[in-house]
Amino acid sequence: MLVPAVAQPIPTQEVAVPGQSEEDFDLTNIVNLLGPFSGIRNLDLDGDVARCEFQGGGFALGVWLRAYGSDEDIFNAYYIHIHPFLSILQPPLSDQISDRPVPVKLPHTNLDNIERSFLPHWPTSALTLTLSAILALIPLPQDPDPFSDARVRSRRSCAQLFAEAAFSEVDKEVDRICQELSHATVPMRQGIDASLSVLSPVLALVMLSLYEYCQRGNMSRMRSRANRAVTAAMDLGLHKLGPTATEAQRRAWWSAVSMFVLYLSSVDQQVSPIITLDDQRITTPYPSFRVSSEVCEGMQKPIEVLTSQPWPLLLQAEQAIISVSEVMNDCGTESTMAAASVSERILKLDSQISTLLKDLNCSPQLELRTGADARAMQDMRTIARVLTYSARLRLHRFRAFVDIPLFMNKYCDIAAIQRRDSAHPLSGPRFESVFPFTEQQSSLICLKSSLAIARAYEDLASPGRSPYTSGTPALDTTPETAYILPFFMCGAMQGSYVLLMTYYRRRCLRAWGE
């Protein structure tokens, strides 16, 4: 997994303590999550803390960075490392793609000040600059110690260099596109190269939003970049193209610009998105995957068809999380809304989430062709499951565990130990009277959902699964350690909370029984 702006567990020496059971010892690393550096951290505000984390170690072996020799190589690397988890671009024309990074060795004195002169190639667009920022975070396969302090610090420094340059380039590209469109007779140019030229600043803002979230931990910038991407996309008319929209334009709108990243930022900030799925102005169809249908009776061979699945399921999963936040807020407010009405909404929402999970857990009777979209479609369904189970956790977690704070810092909607609030908004007898599930029922739902999330993350991080069946992939297309774009890591935090609370509850019950 790419190193997010979350503190790594503090290394501990495995020393047995007299009287400490093996069961207690297994919790050593988990307990480190309760430390002062646990949870998501804004690197732009907590620079001193970040520097303290990276003191000493890792200099003797030298530091190597991942770079690329051309924009074409950057796009090839995108299809291998990013596209399987976020398909913002249409599939490439050829499936024979290999990763060709150019290792760059840094002088020890420049770990925090990466310069353009160190790099073999400077990307030529806002999009390739942003992709380079994310790719720079991925360790090289030959790195013997990829997570040493020096290497993590240098990769972050290099990524930030690209990200800052990309954000500056966005303004220039937007101005250029506006000038071109104002003099053009056709509002949107056609062709792959022309489409990428027009979509570059929009897609760059999308990826910059995820970069701020996954790597910098800056939620305000994340939402700002996402909102600006939506505004730019609507200025280009990407939301109202109708059936004539190209696949590139459809993916730019649905997978990245409007719904996906915007909803993600809204979910984390617990605010309503500036545009919703049911907006009547949206006429652009969902993106599609090219698949082969089953061989029907009388058919000699499968026929190729296009399907929009699982795009709508992914967006419904994000909508479910927002709906959960809304209904839980209603539970915590002293409004005149009847308790029966709130209870009915909770039951209906839980039923909708269960139905969505059934749809996601049913394997489609379709076979995807080989290529860049092969793994993307599979991973998209898995990510949608993570988000849907996260929605069900959010709905039931407080009823199951009364939101007892477990982590030092706030993350997602989980309360932090450091908070000094006198009372939680959902505390009191009113919540118990409104919520239509018992503590035992919600606890079981939370446990099952957490285990399902753990299995989903295991599937996503499974190493050695190349999305290509042809060509000559480079060594690190099937690395021993899998790296994913962790924009859905909130589900992991939710699931970890439930599993820890379930464990502590069972320990307490056993202690009382003795």
Does residue 6 belong to any structural domain of this protein? no
Does residue 3 belong to any structural domain of this protein? no
Long-range CB contact pairs, 349-356, < 8 A, 24+: 349/320, 349/323, 349/324, 349/395, 350/392, 350/395, 350/396, 350/437, 352/320, 352/323, 353/320, 353/388, 353/391, 353/392, 353/395, 354/392, 356/313, 356/316, 356/317, 356/320, 356/388
Task: Please give the average per-residue pLDDT across 456-467, as a whole number.
Answer: 71
Reported as a single tens digit per residue, the pLDDT across 255-284 is 766 556 776 667 666 677 777 778 889 999
Does residue 17 belong to any structural domain of this protein? no
Reported as a single tens digit per residue, the pLDDT across 312-328 is 888 899 889 888 988 88
Structure confidence at residue 91 (pLDDT): 86
For residue 34, with 0-12 CB atoms within 10 Å meaning exposed, 13-18 middle and 19 or more buried, which class applies?
middle
Domain count within the chain: 1
Structure confidence at residue 499 (pLDDT): 93
Average pLDDT, rounded, for the chain: 76
Structure confidence at residue 451 (pLDDT): 96
Angle at 63 between CA 58 and CA 68, to 5 degrees: 150
Does residue 1 belong to any structural domain of this protein? no
Kind plus residue range of the DSSP H or E element containing 104:
strand 102-106
pLDDT at 245 over 70: yes
Structure confidence at residue 474 (pLDDT): 37
Does residue 10 belong to any structural domain of this protein? no
Does residue 275 belong to any structural domain of this protein? yes
Structural domain of residue 95, as residue ranges? 22-291+305-513
Does residue 431 belong to any structural domain of this protein? yes
Kind plus residue range of the DSSP H or E element containing 220:
helix 219-235
Sheet of 289-293, strand order: 304-307, 289-293, 366-368
Structure confidence at residue 424 (pLDDT): 56
**What is Dmax (Cα atoms) for the chain?**
82
The predicted model scores a pTM of 0.81
**pLDDT band with cut points at 50, 70 and 90 for residue 482:** low
Higher pLDDT, 163 or 95: 163
Reported as a single tens digit per residue, the pLDDT across 75-100 is 999 999 999 888 899 888 877 889 99
Does residue 36 belong to any structural domain of this protein? yes
Structure confidence at residue 295 (pLDDT): 39
In this structure, are residues 147 and 1 in contact, taking their beta carbons and an 8 Å threshold? no
